[in-house]
Structure 1
Amino acid sequence: MTTLIKNGVVIDTEPEPVVLGRMDVRIERGTIAEVGPDLAVEPGAEVIDATGRLVLPGFVDTHRHTWQATVRAIAPDIDFPAYLRRVLGELAPRHRPQDLYAGNLAGALECLDAGITTLLDWSHAQFSPAHTDNAVRALRDSGIRAAFGYCYGGEPGGLAAETRRVREELFDTSGLVTMVLAALGPEIAGEERALEEWRMAAELGLPVTAHLGGHGRESAAKALAFLEDNGLLATPTTFVHALYYTDEEFKRIAAAGGTASISPVDEMNLGLGYPTTGRARAAGIPTGLSADTVVCAPGDMFSQMRTAHLLERGRPDGAGFGFTTRDALRMATIEGAEVLGMADVIGSLRPGKQADVILLRTDTPGMAAAHDPIGAVVLNADIGCVETVMVAGRVVKSGGQMLHHDLPAVLASLGESADVVSGG
């Protein structure tokens, strides 16, 4: 019931990232109980020797189409219109319920392996109730903490009934996997669908995550005005991509309590637009990072932090030089937790929070002798550094090896599904 992480270099993130130095972390019943130097070892406690390791909160991915693990790197150089045609138009409908399970399980384990302990699974391959049931079951089986973003994909007229079924049958108020409503309106599926989605979310007490502001200036302005005019932003809403808003519009989103999810690699690779990381945060919008899709992007948070840092500091005329590696780490941890409405539960090492914790090796040529541990996490670390991963105090990766799953069997199942959906 008690775990003591001893002698690691602890990095906390709340309210801002800071290196606390060589410290211990005591975990009791899945919760962080104490952080401090030379904590006593209680009889019966499990001790994790963190000498030569960095100890920090697990990463938070605020928007990922997890099922797309079945089509990893299938279109590495695609643009967004081609992505819509190829991935969503052709490949997604080929997924059987068992393929959604295979993709979600492997995709969630990929996250854990990389130190991502919390995930918003933006799931838009819900072609039947069986697809949904399998997607949720895979998340639960993986051991990750997840917000399942349910996006209705059935016949017209069935959204309300099926969303209620999913909420009532698959989710309660406890457990690591919770539910949010992933909306297609108003910019993708229109205003009528948006009204139904946001009103359903309000009825069921669910937050909303939606691709907003990533489809051009006119679309962004029109959709924001529609949401405001209809009072829909009273429901907590995450603006995924948020690329084409003015500074004044960002301030309105912030005033309404909106949050943002930025996918720096995909936004550039798909030609969506230049990430608005600094402008969104300057307006006071909690802004998290997102891998989006492994169809054409890496699935780890190190890549997202590095890209966000690079692109923000590379803005013209030095406008982004105020953005630091600490900002990037904050976005990947406590700020991502704020985006998901989980900042009181995860995202930092504050006593009382759930023990979602990762240990990173520093005894590698690429990490040794780093003078700034936070800079090293953002600029130098990679998946190979992730030695230990805990979710709610449960160790899911130890010694660099994933636990609790027959990984070869998981990957074999993923390969079979990949052959089916790709027509291979």
Structure 2
Amino acid sequence: MDAAHTVLPQADVLVVDGRVAAVGQRLDVPEGTFEVNATGGVVMPGMIDTHRHMWQTVMRGYGADWTLTQYFVWYYLEHGKAFRPEDVHAGNLLSAWESLEAGVTTTVDWSHGLQSVDHAEAAADALQSVPGRFVLAYGNIQAGPWEWTADPDVRAFLQRRRDAADDLFRVQLAFDVTGDPAFPERAAFEAARDLGLPVSTHAGVWGATNDDGIRLMHDNGFMTPETVYVHAATLSDDSYHRIAATGGSVSVSTESEQSAGQGYPPTWALRRFGIPVSLSMDTSVWWSGDLFSAMRTTLGADRSREHHEAHAVGDTVTHVHLRAEQVVEWATRGGAAALGRDDLGSLEPGKQADVVLLRNDASPVSFPLLNPYGHVAFQAQRGDVHTVLVAGRVVKHEGRLVGADLGALRRQVDASVEHLRGTLGEEAWTAGMNPDLPGTEVLDNPYQYTEFKTGSTHEAR
């Protein structure tokens, strides 16, 4: 996945001291080098997920039939406050190991369940106990971003974790802009600037964040190349122009946008405006944490729209615009660019040795291997991840995680589920899988820390 998208058959990758030392055919290697046989497989860079609510993973699959509104009801309005620090820790730990198991070597924890610094400490400690790369994007859906970013304890936490950041763990801020003309989020952007931290924001989400928020960010000078706009599915051309002009990127969560209702996955528009793209899985309360499904569904959504628009005018598509190698790039180099990590995302000498081997000799789907990009995007799955290296360290080998105590992890997760289920009560727990709308105007404003209402979904309500 270098800039030329070079494909090397029958090649070797040599890793020395945590970095890629050489890539090529029949490499000479030092005596005693540990060898992983990749014959018949695909060696690729570790994948990068730029937006996942890792703290929610203890609720895996619970909201399989939710809409975005039901998600807002359950987490934002009713039950998000029930998560203790230990529950956030359990979710992050489970999600972090899931990332490595699926060949995702870098994950952004869009951690908007941090009601206190104790929650944040638990989230960070969990991530740093797992041998992957993680970015803690600090957020709190229970309070206004202008409130929690002003908290001295929060700022002390962010400063301490920022100063201790290394190649494996970093921090940023995560909050949304409602479009309130008073722009109360200004204080949070100023805090991010003071702390020298990037901002990730849910933008272009139907009924929550739209063009007004983008305009406010742009007019006040807070759109930067480091800003990651999540979803960006309901924006106008004007907003896309502003993102493109300021060098930001978009994290597309196609499965989420298709199913939950943020808007149609916007890759077709992002390609038109030349906006950089990365991929993400959003939350395991709905979906899995692997990027194979992200690549597959992103290709399907983009191509479906292209065919639909052609058919609507009596035309047909003879050559698709979005190709398999582009989504493989978004899952690797795209994520690296979004995070400002030019040392990740490709297998080239000097880059960090985040390496994934796809090889599954027990599967008839593993052969023939004719088009490696097509194979990764359409044929491969997490069960084909044979070996994973992060910074040269083997964290998965021969299909099994290295150093993961899944028994202890299961007990920790079970304890969190028991707590949440007991706190809600059996009736509410069961009803929560398909929650009714409450008597509040959630469709007009899911952010209960502000009285501002967009009115964008008022008629729908």
Whether the TM-score (by the shorter chain) exceeds 0.5 is yes
Show CA shifts across 1:319-375 (max 9, x none): 792101111101111011111211x11000021110010000153211211311210
- The secondary structure found in structure 1 opposite 2:93 is helix
On the 8 A contact 1:145/1:391 being kept in 2, the answer is: yes
User: Larger strand proportion, structure 1 or 2?
Assistant: 1
**Comparing 359-368 with 304-313, which one deviates more in the overlay?**
359-368
Q: Structure 2 matches for 1:215-234, cutoff 5 A?
A: 215-216=206-207, 219-234=209-224
State the shift of 1:266 in Å.
0.8
Of 79, 104, 107, 2:95 maps to: 107
Q: C-alpha separation between the residues in 2 aligned to 1:64 and 1:103?
A: 11
Does residue 10 of structure 2 align to residue 22 of structure 1?
yes
Q: C-alpha separation between the residues in 1 aligned to 2:218 and 2:343?
A: 30
Of 171, 179, 182, 2:171 maps to: 179
Of 153, 159, 166, 1:168 maps to: 159
Change (3 A) 1:164 1:390: same
Does residue 127 of structure 2 align to residue 139 of structure 1?
yes
On the 8 A contact 2:224/2:248 being kept in 1, the answer is: no
Report the residue type matching 2:346 in the other structure. Answer: S
State the shift of 1:214 in Å.
1.3
Report the residue type matching 1:168 in the other structure. Answer: Q
Does residue 209 of structure 2 align to residue 210 of structure 1?
no
State the shift of 1:163 in Å.
3.6
On the 8 A contact 2:59/2:417 being kept in 1, the answer is: yes
Change (3 A) 1:243 1:102: same
State the shift of 1:222 in Å.
1.1
Of 41, 44, 48, 1:53 maps to: 41
Partner residue, 1:129: 117
State the shift of 1:16 in Å.
4.9
Q: C-alpha separation between the residues in 1 aligned to 2:181 and 2:297?
A: 32
Q: Structure 2 matches for 1:320-359, cutoff 5 A?
A: 321-342=320-341, 344-359=342-357
Q: Structure 2 matches for 1:271-290, cutoff 5 A?
A: 271-290=261-280
Show CA shifts across 1:270-320 (max 9, x none): 122110012113312111111001111222111110000011011123579
Show CA shifts across 1:160-211 (max 9, x none): 2244212222232424010111013335x88544201111111111110000
Change (3 A) 1:116 1:384: same
- The secondary structure found in structure 2 opposite 1:359 is strand
Change (3 A) 1:230 1:378: same
Q: C-alpha separation between the residues in 2 aligned to 1:219 and 1:241?
A: 10
Partner residue, 2:411: 412
**Comparing 233-242 with 333-342, which one deviates more in the overlay?**
233-242
**Comparing 330-339 with 80-89, which one deviates more in the overlay?**
80-89
Of 239, 247, 269, 2:237 maps to: 247
Partner residue, 1:317: 309
Partner residue, 1:4: none
State the shift of 1:387 in Å.
0.7
Report the residue type matching 1:111 in the other structure. Answer: S
Partner residue, 1:6: none
Structure 1: any 5+ residue segments left out of the alignment?
1-12
- The secondary structure found in structure 2 opposite 1:19 is coil
Does residue 392 of structure 2 align to residue 393 of structure 1?
yes
On the 8 A contact 1:214/1:242 being kept in 2, the answer is: yes
State the shift of 1:147 in Å.
1.1
State the shift of 1:248 in Å.
4.1
On the 8 A contact 1:355/1:393 being kept in 2, the answer is: yes
Report the residue type matching 2:160 in the other structure. Answer: E
Does residue 182 of structure 2 align to residue 194 of structure 1?
no
Q: C-alpha separation between the residues in 1 aligned to 2:289 and 2:170?
A: 22
Partner residue, 1:384: 383
Does residue 73 of structure 2 align to residue 85 of structure 1?
yes
Change (3 A) 1:16 1:301: farther
Structure 2: any 5+ residue segments left out of the alignment?
311-316, 427-461
- The secondary structure found in structure 2 opposite 1:302 is helix
Q: C-alpha separation between the residues in 2 aligned to 1:395 and 1:91?
A: 38
On the 8 A contact 1:186/1:193 being kept in 2, the answer is: no
Sequence identity, in percent? 37
Greater gyration radius: 2
Report the residue type matching 2:412 in the other structure. Answer: S
- The secondary structure found in structure 2 opposite 1:142 is coil
